[in-house]
Chains A and B, each alone.
Chain A
Amino acid sequence: MNAYELIVNILTALGAYEPVLNIFKAHGAEYVLKVIIVFVEIVVLMAFVLVTVMFLTWMERKVVAMVQVRYGPMVTGPRGLLQPVMDGIKLMGKEDIIPEKADKWLFTLAPFIVFIPAILVFVPIPFGDYLIISDLRVGLLYIIAISAISPVAILLAGWASNNKYSLLGAMRAVAQDISYTIPLALAAIAVVLFTGSLSTVDIVNAQSGTWFGIIPKWFIFLQPLGFILFLIASIAEMGRIPFDFQESESELVAGFFIEYSGMKFAMFFLAEYAHLFAVSAIVVTLFLGGWNGPIPSFLPAFAVPLVSLVYFLIKTYAVIFFAMWLRDTVPRVRIDQLLNLGWKIMVPLALLNLLVTGFLVTILANGVI
């Protein structure tokens, strides 16, 4: 049930799979065809992530403009839609500066360690029925583990720049990241208690159907507290504005990437927006039903993945819009308030949520009620 099988099915329906496979079989190299299909999947995923990031930068500026009653970018393309393309060209044309006293090796390595996990995290995300690169048995654990690599890269970037502001920004970023990963993981574990599986596809399938024919069986209704904790923790983990200590402009200039310019800066930027999309997609997968939605029965079979993809994107963009809206409405909190909120309120609440959920699941499983 993944994108590989979908591609094979489409090729078979077009009558192209058998002849091509026979050509490769004649040379005894069937695995080459497998490698080609996986390569196509990766190219499609990369293109999707890049286009999404460009669209998100445009959307962010438009949402800020809408809240502040301005127009935002309007000149390049219709409603300023080509603005991100121009920004990308500008960043590619900039000089790539490495500070003289920086640790050159780590300074160059850090953007890549930030960028690669931001792409890798998309592997087990179910974009729709069949539309998943690989349905890992431990998909949720994989997502949490891959996200845990980015603090290392942030620390390296901040330290290698040899700048006190970037080191301070990196330390704040990592302190924040570590303290909010705990409620994030605990809220996700409460969902896993319901499904009994770490696979993202199983989590989405557990949310199909409705109660009483009206209310969809999304985990947001079973886990309202968990949903709120997960949303706040993921916004804090991303370092977006109510919690943006790592790059608070008024104190630290720009945080851990002050010294970066040109394409290296662009990689941090890409990773940030790819992370925003990935986290919103995870929120949708865990709590908002994933790609589930009313699919009309008269549709032909090949249209089902497309319709589910549309449902998934609508829900994901709703979560992204919420994050952008929050950015324009709420002022930044102080660092002590942030850490107090994380350790003294969110971790105990997440543990309580886990306890109550585990209690209820055990009672229901043993048929006491």
Chain B
Amino acid sequence: MISDIVFLVISLITILSSIMVVQAKKLVHSAVYLAGTLIGTAGLFLLLEAEFIAWIQVLVYVGAVITLILFTIMLTRKGEEE
């Protein structure tokens, strides 16, 4: 019962932020929403009691991939504002 509610909340957050990834006007905002999606996925893994995969997900995707994406976006010229 309670785990169903938690599952609904986490999946709503994941789905909404993945929609926002393609909807956001600025690239940096998309990257932040992508981080939200990936953390939501880690939450789903935690619900399945797969702690190891959940924290590896946070370490690899949020820690490394999002940092790399943000680095790339910030070091290139801001073209999206024109």
What residues make up the interface of A, taking CB atoms closer than 8 Å to B?
A: 31, 103, 105-106, 109, 136-138, 141-142, 144-146, 148-149, 151-152, 155-156, 159, 167, 171, 174, 178
Given contacts A106-B28, A167-B74, contact A137 B58 (CB under 8 A): no
Count chain B residues whose beta carbon lies closer than 8 angstroms to a beta carbon of A: 21
A-B CB contacts (within 8 Å), total count = 61
Dominant secondary structure at the A interface: helix
Q: Within residues 21 to 63 of chain B, which ones have a CB less than 8 A from any CB in chain A?
A: 26, 28-29, 32, 35, 51-52, 55-56, 58-59, 62-63
A178 to B70, CA, bound (A): 14
Given contacts A106-B32, A159-B28, A178-B67, contact A145 B56 (CB under 8 A): yes
What residues make up the interface of B, taking CB atoms closer than 8 Å to A?
A: 2, 26, 28-29, 32, 35, 51-52, 55-56, 58-59, 62-64, 66-67, 70-71, 74-75
Chain B minimum-CB-distance residue to A137: B51
Complex partner residue of B29 from A105, A137, A149, CB under 8 angstroms: A105
Task: Kindly provide the distance from the CB of B70 to the nearest chain A CB, expressed in whole angstroms.
Answer: 5
- CB-CB under 8 A from A144, the residues of chain B are 59
State whether B29 touches A106 (Cβ < 8 A): yes
Task: Kindly provide the distance from the CB of B2 to the nearest chain A CB, expressed in whole angstroms.
Answer: 8
State whether A109 touches B28 (Cβ < 8 A): no
- CB-CB under 8 A from B64, the residues of chain A are 148, 178
State whether A149 touches B70 (Cβ < 8 A): no
- CB-CB under 8 A from B66, the residues of chain A are 152
State whether B51 touches A156 (Cβ < 8 A): no
State whether A145 touches B70 (Cβ < 8 A): no
State whether A141 touches B52 (Cβ < 8 A): yes
Chain B minimum-CB-distance residue to A146: B58
State whether B63 touches A151 (Cβ < 8 A): yes
